């Protein structure tokens, strides 16, 4: 038989019953088996992907996303790119003009306040600057509209504007229309959709580019966002302003008919447009300083490391990266405090939980079950109730201080301060997380045969030696599992530190919750969360290298 197999191997590959090579047949069977297993877990994978991976990934992406400046002030950002912020000189007049037009559109789309809030994260006071400017930005445009409509009453009619700017029999400017659709979509956090018959005239775009662009942007906004027909409605006051500005230097010789007549009449309108630098400075003197322009230029890129810099108490400046002022450097301290206090809480849970787990594993079943009920009892009580109970017990007029005063251990005038500090956070969180340490250790200790200890004692070992040399090493996997569980849970807690920690016992998770729910600085919250995740993964990797994750067991 052996000789036949050897001869078979020499003559060629071993064949399966169906005549195919055995190796290929086994590989096919393995692929089918893996495919069936994948189909079985596919619903769970899809559920985890949709409800967990994608939302978390989307949130973490906010830590580098920064398109609001470029989308809201596109022309300003483009013109500001060539300005040297370190020169000490204000931007050119063209930058002020672009800012006026961009800010007018942003104000109409109700986006300027969001832009101000974003830049206010980097420089305090910018938010009020944009709010103030939004309230007065249309004053000049309204004056221009009145002057034009008084001199040429036909411009009071929206149909006049539509006929003037629509391509009609002219060649349409498809590129301009596409660009304005994209701009409106970005301004409103949605893809601009909806059908409309308007298409900007390429001829008018060549003669009056700013006017045509402003009208097209309004028409797209009117049709897609307001869902109204631009053919019968008056455009933004910005359009007449742009028309009067461009007609001062426009060459109308290429026009004829009604368009030429209307624009010739409008060209005769006397309306002085002051420099836009003066217009913005009159709205708010802050526009006459370098600071807002410097802030806009520094944070105008679509992707930024600024949130991560802020998360480590640094900032992005025109000269590069720099540390925040000392009175603002708190986040690194919070990171350090979070890690140190989480380790202390983990160690406290080990010290308190190990004896309880040992009793559970070695007591008779009836007594062990009763003790297990006491261990699980906190799970049946609300987290908020347990935390509030510790707040009552730890305060200076609380139960613990009253008992200590009654026993004479503490003077009534010098009661212990155990709340609104790190001590209160450690005590409350140790109590809350203790069951998560006890249960893994208990499940592992149950698997340790009692005969091992008896055998060690029969060989002459003392109780301590038998425990330390025989029992404890076998319980280490339970300690490792409980430690990882408690440590990861503790660094993410924010309710308990917020209630009992005061200003000295809060964690970095409290700042993340604050930026998500109160300051609405989701970018910084995402950056803090990303750093915290990276730190946890790094510590997990170190634990695996030192202890070995394979040694962590749950019984």
Q: Which residue has the tokens 């063209």?
A: 94
pLDDT at 144: 94
pLDDT at 195: 63
pLDDT at 540: 85
pLDDT at 414: 86
Indicate the burial class of 477 (C-beta count within 10 angstroms; 0-12, 13-18, 19 or more): buried
pLDDT at 42: 87
- Closest to 528 (Cα-Cα) out of 331, 333, 302, 322: 331
pLDDT at 551: 61
Which 3 state secondary structure label does DSSP give 65? strand
- Closest to 202 (Cα-Cα) out of 167, 160, 168, 229: 167
- Closest to 338 (Cα-Cα) out of 519, 479, 494: 494
Asked if residue 332 lies in contact with residue 325, where contact means CB atoms within 8 angstroms, the answer is: no
> What residues in the chain have per-residue pLDDT under 70?
1-14, 16-18, 189-195, 547, 549-555
Tokens of 408: 């004479």
Cα separations in angstroms, 20 against 15, 250, 358: 6, 82, 59
Reduce the secondary structure of 165-230 to three states and give it as a string. Answer: HECCCCCECHHHHHHHHHHHHHHCCCCCCCCCCCCEEHHHHHHCHHHHHHHHHHHHHHHHCCCCCH
Strand partners, 65: 303
Model confidence pTM above 0.85: no
Determine which helix (DSSP H) or strand (DSSP E) holds 369, and give its type and residue range: helix 365-376
Asked if residue 301 lies in contact with residue 70, where contact means CB atoms within 8 angstroms, the answer is: yes
pLDDT at 4: 45
Indicate the burial class of 453 (C-beta count within 10 angstroms; 0-12, 13-18, 19 or more): middle
How many residues belong to the chain?
555
Strand partners, 322: 315
Which 3 state secondary structure label does DSSP give 316? strand
pLDDT at 26: 81
Q: How far apart (Å, rounded) are the C-alpha atoms in residues 477 and 486?
A: 14
Which 3 state secondary structure label does DSSP give 18? coil
pLDDT at 1: 43
Tokens of 263: 């624009």
Asked if residue 494 lies in contact with residue 507, where contact means CB atoms within 8 angstroms, the answer is: yes
For residue range 539-552, list pLDDT tens digits in order.
Answer: 888 888 876 766 66
């Amino acid at each position: 038989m052996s000789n036949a197999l050897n001869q078979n191997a020499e003559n060629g590959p071993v064949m399966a019953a169906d005549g195919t090579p055995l190796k290929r047949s086994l590989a096919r069977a393995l692929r089918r088996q893996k495919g069936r297993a994948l189909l079985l877990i596919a619903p769970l994978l899809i559920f985890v992907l949709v409800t967990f991976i994608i939302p978390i990934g989307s949130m973490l992406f906010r830590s580098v996303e920064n398109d609001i400046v470029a989308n809201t002030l596109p022309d300003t950002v483009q013109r500001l790119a060539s300005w040297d912020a370190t020169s000490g000189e204000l931007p050119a007049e063209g930058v002020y003009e672009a800012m006026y037009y961009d800010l007018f559109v942003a104000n109409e789309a109700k986006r300027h306040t969001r832009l101000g809030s974003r830049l206010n994260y980097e420089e305090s006071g910018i938010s009020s600057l944009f709010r103030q400017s939004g309230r007065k930005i249309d004053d000049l445009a309204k004056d221009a509209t009145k002057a034009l409509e008084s001199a040429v009453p036909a411009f009071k009619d929206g149909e006049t504007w539509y006929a003037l700017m629509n391509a009609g029999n002219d060649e349409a400017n498809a590129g301009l229309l596409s660009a304005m659709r994209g701009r409106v979509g970005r301004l409103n956090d949605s893809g601009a959709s909806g059908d409309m018959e308007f298409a900007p005239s390429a001829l008018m775009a060549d003669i009056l580019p700013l006017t045509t662009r402003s009208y097209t942007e309004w028409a797209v906004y009117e049709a897609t966002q307001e869902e109204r027909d631009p053919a019968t409605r008056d455009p933004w006051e910005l359009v007449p302003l742009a028309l009067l500005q461009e007609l001062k230097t426009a060459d109308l010789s290429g026009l004829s008919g009604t368009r030429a007549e209307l624009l010739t009449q409008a060209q005769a309108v006397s309306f002085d447009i002051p420099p836009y630098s003066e217009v913005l400075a009159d709205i708010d003197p802050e526009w006459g300083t370098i600071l807002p322009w410097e802030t806009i230029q520094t944070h105008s890129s679509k992707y930024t490391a600024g949130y991560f810099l802020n998360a480590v108490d640094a900032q992005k400046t025109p000269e590069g990266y720099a540390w925040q002022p000392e009175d603002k450097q708190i986040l690194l301290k919070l990171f350090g405090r979070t890690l140190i206090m989480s380790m202390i809480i983990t160690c406290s849970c080990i010290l308190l939980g190990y004896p309880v787990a040992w009793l559970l594993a070695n007591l008779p079943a009836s007594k062990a079950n009763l003790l297990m009920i006491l261990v699980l009892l906190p799970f049946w009580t609300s987290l908020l109730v347990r935390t509030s109970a510790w707040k009552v017990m730890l305060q200076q007029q609380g139960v613990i201080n009253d008992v200590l005063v009654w026993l004479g251990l503490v003077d009534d005038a010098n009661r212990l301060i155990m709340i609104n500090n790190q001590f209160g956070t450690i005590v409350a969180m140790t109590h809350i997380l203790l069951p998560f340490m006890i249960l893994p250790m208990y499940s592992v200790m149950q698997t340790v045969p009692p005969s091992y200890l008896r055998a060690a004692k029969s060989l002459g070992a003392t109780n301590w030696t038998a425990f330390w040399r025989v029992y404890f090493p076998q319980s280490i996997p339970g300690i490792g599992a409980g430690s990882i569980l408690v440590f990861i849970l503790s660094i993410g807690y924010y309710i308990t530190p917020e209630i009992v920690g005061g200003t000295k016992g809060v964690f970095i998770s409290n700042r993340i919750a604050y930026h998500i729910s109160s300051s609405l600085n989701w970018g910084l919250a995402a950056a803090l969360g990303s750093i915290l995740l990276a730190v946890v993964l790094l510590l997990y990797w170190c634990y695996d290298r030192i202890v070995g994750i394979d040694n962590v067991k749950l019984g």
